[in-house]
Chain A
Amino acid sequence: MAEFKSILFEQMIKEFAEKEVKPLAQEIDEQERFPLETVEKMARLGLLGIIIPREYGGAGGNYPMYIKAVEELSKHCATTGVVLSGHTSLCVAPILEYGTEDQKKRYLPHLATGKKLGAFALTEPNAGTDASNQQTRAIEKDDHYLLNGSKIFITNAGYASVYIVIAVTGFGPKGPEMSAFIVDGDMEGFTVGKKEKKMGIRGSATCELIFENVKVPKENMLGKRGDGFKIAMKTLDGGRIGIAAQALGIAEGALETTISYVKSRKQFGKPISAFQNTQFVLADLATKIEASRLLVYSATDAKQNKLPTLSVKAAQAKLFAAETAMEVTTKCVQLHGGYGYTREYPVERMMRDAKITEIYEGTSEVQRMVISGALLKK
């Protein structure tokens, strides 16, 4: 019986992406505009709460449905894909996994219905790949923690009202002790700073967060004190599947639009699809996309079934899907020739969008560290 849910979901998200997301993709990229209207539409369809159980107002769906959604949205608009991925993987998922009953009841219903959008804040100016070098401090005081510091490159910043923030709560013999907090967007002393001007995913809001003596109530600590780094890393394991799905979607979208282009573009009196170079390039790209798809779905299965292989599978899926997206979009631009370099054709945007998937939520180099680390530990 469960198969109907998946079949119907795929049908719905494809239609939604085609009719509601695709027409806006170029405009939000050009104007660097956050697609608020699309987020509201997604909220009404329950897409922001796919993985949230019904008792907290969510759809009670599963991880494969959520990943399918990111993939299909990203086929047409990678910005929309990352809005959903950031919200679900990086905010909803950690609250679901580490939240107390009280936290789940307070936050999940709003996150499920889209009353509130979620975000995650780990990266700092001097803590990128070296994520443990955190400078943001949370000092315990009476009934709260006093939060000071700043974060950068935060997806959904400004539009989100729930932020998972990692901060240093003390120092032990092994180094800094980190903890995770749920910070409300309207807490006093919390401001959103400058918005980045990016190469791609230009509709998504990527900003700095500034915390000046923000009083975060103790009941907003996520998980146990000192678990912050673990929570961040586990959260990113899940998030990487979302980004891998985004990369997969970008590659699929680029290939799809290129196939129709090469069939209609004529040179030397015949469509360029009649040339063997075109045919061979398309064959290679389609094969790599299929490999990406299998890795992404396999990692999704590991997440859904809580398999111990999740961390490595997520890293492999993201590494391969991101590098494939970059290669596919670059070659699709090439097949478009001069037109591909213009903003008249979506492959130009797709190539710019693809690049970020090799960087955020762990660069390709970080994924190689995770994969090789697991290999050499054996």
Chain B
Amino acid sequence: MKIIVCIKQVPNTTEIKIDPVTNTLKRDGVPSIINPDDKTAIEVALQLKERCGAEVTVITMGPTQAEKALREALAMGCDNAYLLTDRAFAGSDTLATSTIIASAIRKLGADIVLCGRQAIDGDTAQVGPQIAEHLDIPQITYVSAVEYDGEREVLVVRRQFEDRYQTLEVKGQCLLTILSNLCTPRYMNAWDMVAQDQKEIGIITFKDLELDKAHIGLGGSPTKVKSTATKQFDKTIETLELDPESAARAIVDSLKARHLI
């Protein structure tokens, strides 16, 4: 079984601060991390590897700095890693990105493709489903549990909705988008950490893939970000001196009045 996990390196948003003058995110000096949903996808892949002997390949698209995210995945126990990087890829929106990643997956070959549900920086949740569409394979999104039934060779997958679960079985090639609460990703371990230094990261560029320049990069991206703005929160502090019971009532009334509960 060959599993490809698609990951994204994102800024650690818990450490991001907002520039009070320009109202934009201050990314300078903010450490990058593997997107949390993607890290759980790695864990799912490694658990499948342990249970049924899969080979786990991790891929990411981005600048050369994204190598660190791939090396972290190797240090967790992934077998191979590829970086999709080219000037021609720059400025890609989700459609162009998924076009490039799908092309790389076609080249590398995979039985199961795992993605995180969405990235904490873009929050679109589009790339995973789009990859599945490009590859023309079944997709299950919002996955909160995965089991492999070796006898019947099917994946038993639990899909999470707001108010219910759906249990699905899928046979053959498929793509799953994983929720970070499915399980806790393991730590990197010292053995794989030392071993990854001896491993090469495969580099995949435009010329390695069958791609039309009209469908990738800034030029191939139908979505344009017109503007980005930081949400403004109205902070007003109201002080009430009340006994606990009346205070509780006042809080509830106030929240109700604002339609928050």
Contact B72 A8 (CB under 8 A): yes
Contact A15 B187 (CB under 8 A): yes
Residues on B with beta carbons closer than 8 Å to the beta carbon of A49:
190
A226 to B76, CA, bound (A): 45
Residue-wise, chain B 181-220 has the 8 Å CB interface mask toward A (1 for contact) of 0000001111101101100000000000000000000000
Contact B187 A61 (CB under 8 A): no
Selected interface stretch from A39-47, A202-210, A253-261: A39-47
Would you call A189 an interface residue if the criterion is a C-beta within 8 Å of the partner chain's C-beta atoms? no
Residue-wise, chain A 131-152 has the 8 Å CB interface mask toward B (1 for contact) of 0000000000000000000000
Contact B191 A8 (CB under 8 A): no
A50 to B189, CA, bound (A): 10
Q: Among the listed A11, A44, A59, which residue makes an inter-chain contact with B194, where contact means beta carbons less than 8 Å apart?
A: A59
Residues on B with beta carbons closer than 8 Å to the beta carbon of A2:
197
Contact A46 B190 (CB under 8 A): yes
Number of residue pairs across A and B with beta carbons under 8 Å? Answer: 55
Residues on A with beta carbons closer than 8 Å to the beta carbon of B68:
4, 7-8
A44 to B75, CA, bound (A): 14
Contact B72 A45 (CB under 8 A): no
Would you call B159 an interface residue if the criterion is a C-beta within 8 Å of the partner chain's C-beta atoms? no
Residues on A with beta carbons closer than 8 Å to the beta carbon of B190:
9, 45-47, 49-50, 59, 61, 65
Spell out B's residues near A (CB within 8 Å): 67-68, 71-72, 75, 187-191, 193-194, 196-197
Would you call A1 an interface residue if the criterion is a C-beta within 8 Å of the partner chain's C-beta atoms? yes
Residues on B with beta carbons closer than 8 Å to the beta carbon of A45:
187-190
- Secondary structure at chain B's binding surface: helix, strand, loop or mixed? helix
Residues on A with beta carbons closer than 8 Å to the beta carbon of B188:
8-9, 11-12, 45
A49 to B190, CA, bound (A): 8
Given contacts A4-B68, A16-B187, A45-B187, contact A9 B197 (CB under 8 A): no
Contact A5 B194 (CB under 8 A): yes
Q: Taking CB as reference atom, which chain A residue is nearest B188?
A: A12
Q: How far is the CB of A288 from chain B (nearest CB, A)?
A: 26
Nearest first, the 5 A-B pairs at minimum CB distance are A46-B190, A59-B190, A12-B188, A45-B189, A46-B191
Q: Among the listed B72, B191, B197, which residue makes an inter-chain contact with A1, where contact means beta carbons less than 8 Å apart?
A: B197
Q: How far is the CB of A153 from chain B (nearest CB, A)?
A: 29
- Provide 23 A-B residue pairs closer than 8 Å at the C-beta atoms, listed in order of the A residue: A2-B197, A4-B67, A4-B68, A4-B71, A4-B197, A5-B196, A8-B193, A9-B188, A9-B193, A11-B188, A12-B187, A16-B187, A45-B187, A45-B188, A45-B190, A46-B190, A49-B190, A54-B191, A54-B194, A59-B191, A59-B193, A61-B190, A61-B193
A5, A9, A61: most-surrounded residue (chain B CB, <10 A): A5
Residue-wise, chain A 53-75 has the 8 Å CB interface mask toward B (1 for contact) of 01000011100010000000000
Contact A5 B193 (CB under 8 A): yes
Q: How far is the CB of A144 from chain B (nearest CB, A)?
A: 36
B75, B194, B196: most-surrounded residue (chain A CB, <10 A): B194
Residues on A with beta carbons closer than 8 Å to the beta carbon of B193:
5, 8-9, 12, 46, 59, 61
Q: How far is the CB of B248 from chain A (nearest CB, A)?
A: 27
Q: How far is the CB of B6 from chain A (nearest CB, A)?
A: 20
Contact A12 B75 (CB under 8 A): yes
Contact A46 B197 (CB under 8 A): no
Q: How far is the CB of B200 from chain A (nearest CB, A)?
A: 9
Residues on B with beta carbons closer than 8 Å to the beta carbon of A4:
67-68, 71, 196-197
Q: Among the listed B67, B71, B72, B194, which residue makes an inter-chain contact with A61, where contact means beta carbons less than 8 Å apart?
A: B194
A4, A15, A16, A49: most-surrounded residue (chain B CB, <10 A): A4
A197 to B67, CA, bound (A): 49
A16 to B68, CA, bound (A): 19
Residues on B with beta carbons closer than 8 Å to the beta carbon of A65:
190
Residues on B with beta carbons closer than 8 Å to the beta carbon of A46:
189-191, 193
Residues on B with beta carbons closer than 8 Å to the beta carbon of A1:
197
Q: Would you list which residues of chain A between 47 and 102 have a CB under 8 Å from chain B?
A: 47, 49-50, 54, 59-61, 65
Residues on A with beta carbons closer than 8 Å to the beta carbon of B71:
4, 8
Residues on B with beta carbons closer than 8 Å to the beta carbon of A54:
191, 194
